[in-house]
């Protein structure tokens, strides 16, 4: 029975003979049964790119679109095993979307196999693959020089490629690597040494993979375990379930919730097979403590020295979707078992993976790797990725679609500097607001240009003032004349525009005011960002719902006429989208009721919510 | 004490199951009674011990499963105090859709794929956990562990989320659902060596015994009950056979085997040159059959 498991990332394109190599490994170790082989022979005749025999690429390309188009679309996971070891191959396509797919495959890999065509030498592609593997924390590389038969098994050609790779290694740090000359088609040095390269005395590829070390978190790391869930079947049992990220643990050991720092001792390590005397990195366990401390999902149980909770991280981000990443955008950050909101506060550079130099940028596009700073709404226990893949690797999730949009590696985590700590004040917003018989709030009027936002906001404010309440209006157009006059209408500027308006509105909330913001704000994500700047219940999204035809008919500023004539670009409702709110606090259909009665409704709603009392 | 790579696979699966419990609002486990489901159930019990499994089981009952499978299901549910929900496509039942009159494509579509989609929609489940493995079939090799299904339960292989480290994102947009496969990285051999190491109970049909079978198109079909329609010249014969994969009996081919216990099965597994799903007649009825079914919402 195999005693260990090795996860291997294979990089290279079909042209390098990668599929032939993988197909051979799968075939030799009995992973390809006869009936699958028969199907493969059938498909080879139909879609195959080799003139005779079996096209192993078809074994590796799992989707019908891939077989028909002769391309590899996605990462595939394949398994084989020898007497000593079970292998999981993550096979990433070499060309299309390679950064995204390679990063995914590399995130769990112990070893990266880089495939090079002996005739072509070390290409830019191999450098990129090495750089991504390095960045993702893969610290063992096997450089496989294939198609040696086509260069007459010449040693000097192999030596030159190895020397070129060695030079690249200077940039990547001292990453250990083995280099193996092979002929995948005939099998030389793949499983057993080949007789045609007597000058090579090293191991075959398989021997190298059998000898490679599974990835371990750096030695001597203290115990850490992100809590997945609290197991509480009845009042007599309370256990914390999770997978140990580093270190080991025994009953009697002192640990703490990293964000609480109150210590407790481990009483039991519970599994269905009985209590354990010890558990270590990689084990899925349930811990019972000697007394109750405040722990829930998302917390990290840790031994001293405790990891710190950060509210700002600098990280490498691999961007994985078509819509670019901008400064000011907010996402869910998922790290360990915790999810918090984070806003991109700086986007300083892109890593050029050909030169490994950092290039200044304004936005980060699909398959690019950038250095960003993320400000978090709640503290997040994390560590540098180089110290811990579990507490340093995270994903960014779009809050509306739920999609994973990027992968991040923490470079540095910090708490906000002490000299910028929030000054605790005796008079706070509640005190200020109570003076005025109100609770502070933001009334965020969103809708198309000409929908009646400003008209209704104006009526609402007049009524509130008549009632003796204290208000402030922020108008999108007016703010652009002053605070935001440096901003244009690109997507990045729009995001920054809304961030500033939200921050100003928040200051007025701190002052205890009812803030009326009238602002087209066409994107849900941006309105969500504004909502997140204040506490729950303080943000009311008010959808001023007027169909675009009616707005165009009213056209109070003559803007629709200009947009229709092509003199205005990116005009919401004409050639730029408007995403209506899905669950606004208030929905005002202006075709059905006059502005006065809609304004009454808003004031009535404020009274019902206790904002005005 | 579990050793070697099985311990790592077990820990990974337990981690995945705990993420489902933590992130899902209304999860369910697709229980098919087979060996993979048996391993899955064992892992679920381990993941939440000493608590009871936090998921109900859902069995899509086509009414054509082997009798031994149904008996085993009832025994296991009672033994572990599980909540079992059964579902049969009522329209298929009313129209008497069956393996003999309708052919495998129509039968499978109505009694399995449609039934599954109906049951998931009716139950309003956000996450359905299944025992599929990546080594079963080539399109599965590219599927995520947490696999998003668009409205209508369809799978779009080109729109899959990247899945990094052990971070599993179960977030969904309105109308979407999720399928989760905790056994993704296991092989058939892993399953059997684990069953042996952990002494997990499985349906007796996996072990060789004398059973009445008929030969049809090169496949040995067991005559499991008197609904089996024999052709004029067919006479059931007793053969020493077992099953590597269990489904509806008219579509599950037996293999000749002398493997009467787990040691025999593991030994056979190491030398066999036939794939597990070769006995699944429904996988071969269309080109790219499994991928097509998966896109339509099949597991």
For the beta carbon of residue B29, count every other beta carbon within 10 angstroms.
29
Range with the poorest average pLDDT among A23-32, A209-218, B104-113: A23-32
Query: What per-residue confidence (pLDDT) applies to B24?
Result: 97
What mean pLDDT is reported for chain A?
87
What mean pLDDT is reported for chain B?
91
Tens digits of residue pLDDT in A445-475: 999 999 999 999 999 998 998 888 899 998 8
- pLDDT over 70 (residue A339): yes
- pLDDT over 90 (residue B66): yes
Indicate the pLDDT class of residue A59, thresholds 50, 70 and 90: low
Query: What per-residue confidence (pLDDT) applies to A65?
Result: 60
Helix residue ranges per DSSP H, chain B: 4-23, 35-48, 67-80, 90-94, 99-108, 115-123, 188-198, 262-271, 289-296
Q: In what order do the strands lie in the sheet with B57-60?
A: B84-87, B57-60, B27-30, B127-129, B177-180, B146-149
Which one of A31, A259, A521, A597 is the catalytic residue?
Answer: A521
Query: What per-residue confidence (pLDDT) applies to B233?
Result: 87
Q: Are strands A309-319 and A369-381 parallel, antiparallel or unpaired?
A: antiparallel
Q: Is A521 a catalytic residue?
A: yes
Cis peptide bond prior to A305, omega within 30° of 0: yes
Contact between B5 and A237 using a beta-carbon 8 Å cutoff: no
Collect all residues with Cβ–Cβ distance below 8 Å to B253 and sequence separation of at least 6: B219, B220, B221, B278, B279, B280, B281
Alpha carbon A80 to its chain centroid, in Å, reads 30
Question: Which residue's structure tokens are 């943000």?
Answer: A539
How many Å lie between the alpha carbon of A307 and the closest alpha carbon of chain B?
20
Of A77, A243, A273, the CB nearest to B141: A77
Indicate the pLDDT class of residue B62, thresholds 50, 70 and 90: very high
How many Å lie between the alpha carbon of A89 and the closest alpha carbon of chain B?
10
Rounded distance between C-alpha atoms, residue A135 and residue A130, angstroms: 9
How many Å lie between the alpha carbon of B285 and the closest alpha carbon of chain A?
13
Of A35, A64, A88, the CB nearest to B288: A64
Tens digits of residue pLDDT in A184-194: 888 899 998 88
DSSP string, A141-198: EEEEEE-GGGGTT-HHHHHHHHHHHHHHHHHH-S--EEEEE-BTTTTBTTTB--TT-T
Backbone angles phi, psi at B59, to 5 degrees: -115, 120
Could you tell me which residues are beta bridge partners of residue B254? B220
Indicate the pLDDT class of residue A376, thresholds 50, 70 and 90: very high
Query: What per-residue confidence (pLDDT) applies to A419?
Result: 43
Q: For residue B5, give both structure tokens.
A: 């790579």
HSE at residue B99, side-chain half, CA atoms within 13 A, is 18
Residues in chain B: 299
Contacts of A402 in chain B (CB under 8 A): 169, 171-173, 176
Q: For residue A144, give both structure tokens.
A: 């496989």
Taking only residues 43 to 82 of chain B, the set having a beta carbon closer than 8 angstroms to any beta carbon of chain A reads 45-52
- pLDDT over 60 (residue A541): yes
Q: For residue B237, give both structure tokens.
A: 């014969």
Contacts of B142 in chain A (CB under 8 A): 62-63, 73-77
Q: For residue A440, give both structure tokens.
A: 């502070």
Q: Would you give the DSSP letter of residue A387? A: T
- Do A208 and A191 touch, CB atoms closer than 8 A? no
Query: What per-residue confidence (pLDDT) applies to A418?
Result: 44
Rounded distance between C-alpha atoms, residue B276 and residue B257, angstroms: 14
Burial of A49 (0-12, 13-18, 19+ CB in 10 A): exposed
DSSP string, A416-463: PPGGGSPPP-SS-HHHHHHTTTB--EEEEEE--TTSSHHHHHHHHHHH
Q: For residue A572, give both structure tokens.
A: 């919401």
Q: Buried (b) or exposed (e) across A309-320, using 16+ Cβ within 10 A?
A: bbbbbbbbbbbb
Query: What per-residue confidence (pLDDT) applies to A88?
Result: 93
- pLDDT over 80 (residue A293): yes
Alpha carbon A175 to its chain centroid, in Å, reads 26
Tens digits of residue pLDDT in A550-582: 999 988 888 898 888 888 887 888 888 899 998
Contact between B287 and A402 using a beta-carbon 8 Å cutoff: no
Query: What per-residue confidence (pLDDT) applies to A47?
Result: 61
Contact between A284 and B10 using a beta-carbon 8 Å cutoff: yes
Query: What per-residue confidence (pLDDT) applies to A318?
Result: 95
How many Å lie between the alpha carbon of A606 and the closest alpha carbon of chain B?
29
B199 touches chain A (CB under 8 A): no
Contacts of A76 in chain B (CB under 8 A): 141-142
- Do B29 and B132 touch, CB atoms closer than 8 A? no
Q: For residue A575, give both structure tokens.
A: 């050639």
B286 touches chain A (CB under 8 A): no
Tens digits of residue pLDDT in A164-174: 998 887 777 77
Cis peptide bond prior to A410, omega within 30° of 0: no
- pLDDT over 90 (residue A128): no
Rounded distance between C-alpha atoms, residue A187 and residue A214, angstroms: 25
Of B48, B142, B171, the CB nearest to A62: B142
Residues in chain A: 613
**Residue closest to B31 by CA, chosen among B19, B42, B21:** B42
Q: Mean per-residue pLDDT for A124-130?
A: 84
Helix residue ranges per DSSP H, B111-248: 115-123, 188-198
**Residue closest to A484 by CA, chosen among A459, A462, A502:** A502
DSSP string, A36-79: HHHHHHHHHHHH-SSSSS--THHHH--SHHHHHHT---S-EEEE
Query: Using DSSP, how many helices (H) and how many strands (E) does chain B show?
Result: 9, 10
Backbone angles phi, psi at A69, to 5 degrees: -95, -5
For the beta carbon of residue A380, count every other beta carbon within 10 angstroms.
27
How many Å lie between the alpha carbon of A240 and the closest alpha carbon of chain B?
10
For the beta carbon of residue A538, count every other beta carbon within 10 angstroms.
18
- Do A115 and A387 touch, CB atoms closer than 8 A? no
Contacts of A135 in chain B (CB under 8 A): none
Q: Which of B167, B275, B281 to mutate to test the interface with A (most CBs of A within 10 A)?
A: B167
3-state SS, residue A391: helix
Structural domains present in chain A: 5-211 (3.40.50.300), 224-302 (2.40.30.10), 308-414 (2.40.30.10), 429-609 (3.40.50.300)
Could you tell me which residues are beta bridge partners of residue A255? A264
% of residues, chain A, pLDDT over 90? 51
- Helix (H), strand (E), coil (C) string for B84-107: EEEECCHHHHHCCCCHHHHHHHHH
Contact between A33 and B272 using a beta-carbon 8 Å cutoff: yes
């Amino acid at each position: 029975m195999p005693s260990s498991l090795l996860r291997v990332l294979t990089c290279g394109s079909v042209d390098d003979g990668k599929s032939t190599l993988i197909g051979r490994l799968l075939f030799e170790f009995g992973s390809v049964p006869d009936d699958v082989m028969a199907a493969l022979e059938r498909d080879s005749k139909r879609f195959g790119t080799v003139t005779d025999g079996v096209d192993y690429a078809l074994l590796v390309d799992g989707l019908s679109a891939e077989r028909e188009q002769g391309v590899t679309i996605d990462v595939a996971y394949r398994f084989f095993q020898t007497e000593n070891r079970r292998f999981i191959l993550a096979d990433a396509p070499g060309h299309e979307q390679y950064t995204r797919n390679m990063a995914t495959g590399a995130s769990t890999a112990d070893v990266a196999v880089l495939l090079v065509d002996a005739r072509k030498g070390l290409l830019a592609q191999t450098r990129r693959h090495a750089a991504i593997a390095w960045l993702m924390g893969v610290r063992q590389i096997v450089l496989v020089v294939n198609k040696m038969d086509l260069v007459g098994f010449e040693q000097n050609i192999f030596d030159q490629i190895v020397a070129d790779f060695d030079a690249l290694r200077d940039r990547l740090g001292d990453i250990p690597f083995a280099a193996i000359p092979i002929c995948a088609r005939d099998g030389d040095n793949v499983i057993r040494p080949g007789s045609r390269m007597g000058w090579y005395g090293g191991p075959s590829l398989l021997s190298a993979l059998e000898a490679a070390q599974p990835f371990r978190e750096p030695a001597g790391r203290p115990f850490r375990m992100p809590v997945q869930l609290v197991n509480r079947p009845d009042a007599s049992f309370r256990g914390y379930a999770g997978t140990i990220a580093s270190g080991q643990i025994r009953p009697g050991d002192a640990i703490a919730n990293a964000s609480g720092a109150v210590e407790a001792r481990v009483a039991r390590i519970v599994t269905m097979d009985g209590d354990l005397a010890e558990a270590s990195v990689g084990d899925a366990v349930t811990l019972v403590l000697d007394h109750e401390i405040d722990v829930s999902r998302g917390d990290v149980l840790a031994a001293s020295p405790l990891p710190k909770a950060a509210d700002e991280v600098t990280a490498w981000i691999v961007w994985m979707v078509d819509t670019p990443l901008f400064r000011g955008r907010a996402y869910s950050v998922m790290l360990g078992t915790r999810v918090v909101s984070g806003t991109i506060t700086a986007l300083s550079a892109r890593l050029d993976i050909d030169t490994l130099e950092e290039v200044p940028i304004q936005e980060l596009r699909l398959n690019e790797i950038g250095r960003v700073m993320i400000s978090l709404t709640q503290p997040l226990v994390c560590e540098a990725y180089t110290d811990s893949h579990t507490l340093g690797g995270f994903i960014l999730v779009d809050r509306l679609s739920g999609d994973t949009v990027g992968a991040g590696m923490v470079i540095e985590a910090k708490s906000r500097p002490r000299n910028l700590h929030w000054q605790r004040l005796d008079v706070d917003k509640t005190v200020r607001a109570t003076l005025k018989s109100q609770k502070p709030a933001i009334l965020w009027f969103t809708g198309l240009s000409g929908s009646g936002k400003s008209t209704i906001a104006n009526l609402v404010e007049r009524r509130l003032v008549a009632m003796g309440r204290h208000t402030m209006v922020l108008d999108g157009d007016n703010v652009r004349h002053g605070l935001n006059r440096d901003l244009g209408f690109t997507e990045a500027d729009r995001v920054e525009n809304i961030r500033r308006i939200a921050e100003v509105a928040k200051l007025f909330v701190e002052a205890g005011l009812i803030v009326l913001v009238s602002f087209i704000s066409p994107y849900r994500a941006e309105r969500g960002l504004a909502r997140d700047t204040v506490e729950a219940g303080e943000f009311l999204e008010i959808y001023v719902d007027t169909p675009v035809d009616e707005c165009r008919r009213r056209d109070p500023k003559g803007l629709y006429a200009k947009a229709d004539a092509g003199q205005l670009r990116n005009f919401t409702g004409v050639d730029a989208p408007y995403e209506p709110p899905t669950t606004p606090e208030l929905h005002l259909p202006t075709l059905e009721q006059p502005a006065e009665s809609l304004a009454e409704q808003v004031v009535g709603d404020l009274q019902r919510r206790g904002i005005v009392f | 004490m579990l050793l070697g790579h099985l311990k790592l696979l077990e820990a990974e699966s337990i981690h995945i199951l705990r993420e489902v419990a933590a992130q899902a609002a209304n999860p369910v486990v697709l229980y098919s009674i087979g060996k993979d489901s048996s391993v899955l159930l064992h892992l679920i019990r381990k993941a939440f011990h000493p608590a009871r499994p936090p998921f109900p089981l859902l069995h899509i009952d086509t009414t054509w499963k082997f009798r031994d499978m149904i008996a085993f299901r009832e025994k296991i549910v009672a033994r572990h105090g599980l909540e079992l929900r059964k579902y049969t496509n009522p329209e298929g039942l009313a129209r008497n859709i069956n393996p003999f009159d309708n052919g495998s494509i129509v039968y499978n579509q109505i009694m399995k794929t449609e039934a599954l989609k109906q049951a998931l929609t009716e139950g309003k489940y956000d996450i359905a956990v299944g025992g599929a493995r990546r080594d079963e079939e080539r399109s599965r090799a590219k599927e995520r562990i947490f696999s998003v299904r668009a409205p209508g339960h369809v799978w779009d292989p080109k729109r899959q989320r990247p899945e990094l480290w052990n971070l599993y994102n179960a977030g969904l947009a309105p109308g979407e659902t999720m399928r989760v496969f905790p056994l993704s990285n296991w092989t058939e051999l892993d399953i059997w060596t684990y069953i042996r190491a952990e002494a997990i109970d499985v349906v007796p049909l996996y072990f060789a015994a004398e059973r009445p079978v008929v030969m049809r198109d090169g496949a040995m079909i067991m005559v499991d009950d008197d609904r089996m329609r024999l052709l004029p010249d067919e006479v059931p014969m007793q053969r020493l056979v077992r099953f590597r994969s269990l489904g509806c009996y008219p579509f599950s081919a037996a293999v000749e085997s002398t493997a009467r216990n787990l040691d025999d099965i593991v030994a056979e597994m190491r030398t066999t040159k036939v794939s597990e799903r070769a006995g699944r007649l429904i996988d071969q009825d269309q080109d790219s059959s499994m991928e097509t079914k998966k896109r339509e919402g099949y597991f």
